[in-house]
Amino acid sequence: MYRFLLTPRWWGINLFVLLAIPFCVFMGSWQLGRFEDRVQDHQAAGEQADAARTDPARPLGELLPVDKSTSGKQAVATGRYDRQLLVPDRDLDGRHGYYVLTLLRTDGGRALPVVRGWLPGDADAAKAPAPPAGEVTVTGALQASESPGANGVSAAGGLPAGQTAAISSASLVNLVPYDVYNAWITLSDAGDGMKAVPAAAAEGTGLDLKAFQNLGYTGEWFVFAGFVVFMWFRLLRREVEFARDAELGIAQDGGEESGEDGSEPDGRAASGAPAATGSGAGTGAGPGTGTG
C-alpha cells in the first residue's frame, strides 16, 4: 500500500520536507537568538547607565569614538561656548519642547555639541538662556550622533535659522565654519530654568520594535515547520486512501463504471429498458400464429 512512496513524485515531496523542516527550525532559532541578544544588550545598557552616574568623568578624547561601551559615560571637556542652536520637537516627560544646544570650541579647534537643557513650548531663541562667557569646563553624558529619521529624530528640512533637526556632525558642519565632533554630551545639571536631558541608551540596545519583530519571526518560522509536517501527513493520508480504494476496486472517476457508449456494465441500455434476448426476438410473428 505504501509503495507509492518510492515513486519519483514522492521522492521529491520527501526531499522537500527533509530540507524545509531543518531550515525553518534553524531560522526560528536564529531569530530567537537575535531577540535574546537584544534583551541582554538592554540589560547591559541599564547596568551601564547606573554605573555611569557614579563613575568619575573621563576626558572626552579617551571615550571617542562613541560605541555601546562608552555611550552614556560621563565625559569632561574644556573650551569656550560659541554658537547656540535650538533643536525643536523634542518631548520630555510627556511634554512638548525643544533642546538648547550650544557648540563648545575646544582647544583643538573642533566643536563639541553640548545640550545644556530642555525648555517647554515651541522653539524660541529669545527664551533660551545665553551660555556662560569665557572658558568653561563641562561634564555630561556622552552620546552618539543622531541619525535623522531614526529613533524619533525628525528628518524635516527647511527649519528657521538657528535651528537643527538632528544633533549630528553631518548636520552641524553645514551650519558652522569649523569641524564638529562626531558625538555630543548632555549636561546633568542644566540650570538657568532649563531641565536636564537624560542620556539615551545606545542604538540597538533597547527593546524596540526590531526586538519584538525578531520574536514574531521566531514564531512564524516554527509555524512554517509545523505546517510542512501537517501538509506531508495530509498528502500521505490522501494517497493511502486512493491506494485502498484501488485495491477494493472502487472507481476514482466517473468513466470507469459505465461503458464507453454510455451503456451499463450488465448490457442494459442507459435508459433502463430491458434488453431483448432470444433468436425469435424482433421476427415480427404475432400472438396466435401456429403451424396448423
pLDDT tens digits, 42-66: 777 666 666 666 678 899 999 999 9
CA distances, 169 to each of 19, 73, 98, 111, 116 (Å): 49, 19, 19, 10, 17
Task: Report residues of the chain scoring pLDDT below 70.
Answer: 1-2, 45-54, 149-152, 154-157, 202-208, 251-292
pLDDT at 182: 94
pLDDT at 207: 62
pLDDT at 276: 43
Say if CB 259 and CB 265 are below 8 A apart.
Answer: yes
pLDDT at 69: 80
C-alpha grid cell for residue 8?
Answer: 519519483
pLDDT tens digits, 118-150: 999 999 999 999 999 999 999 999 999 988 766
pLDDT at 251: 56
Strand 135-144 relative to strand 111-120, pairing: unpaired
Residue with cell 534583551: 39
